[in-house]
Amino acid sequence: MRKNAGNIVKLTLDQNTPPKLTDEQKERLTAVATMPDDQIDYSDAPMLPDAFWVAAERVGSANKSQVTLRLDAEVLEFFKGTGRRYQTRINAVLLAYVEAQKKTHHRS
């Protein structure tokens, strides 16, 4: 956990090792999962009019470029094995590398 100057706490969740749920949390999730939608309490969620969803647009990252990239089969198999959106995780790893390199090269 890291705090920045604005007192915002940034947490990182490792998708391969999610936090352990307590028995109570598991019971609550099971109860909600088996409950009909009309019995779920949505009172804490803001009500959005249908017009909101009609006008909603999927926003992509404007700074991404499509490329062809050759990866070792082992690397590709590993990331595909982590589930959907594996390309996003590959990008995150590469971005972390870039940021680390920027810090290393700016110190010298």
When divided into structural domains, the chain yields a total of 1
In a domain? residue 80: yes
Both tokens assigned to 14: 């490792």
- The predicted-structure confidence for 20-57, as pLDDT tens digits, reads as follows 899 999 999 999 899 998 888 888 888 878 887 777 76
97: domain range? 72-108
Q: What pLDDT was estimated at residue 33?
A: 92
Residue 73: pLDDT above 60?
A: yes
Give CA–CA dist 3/82, Å, rounded: 29
In a domain? residue 97: yes
In a domain? residue 45: no
In a domain? residue 67: no
Whether the model pTM is above 0.75: no
In a domain? residue 79: yes
In a domain? residue 14: no
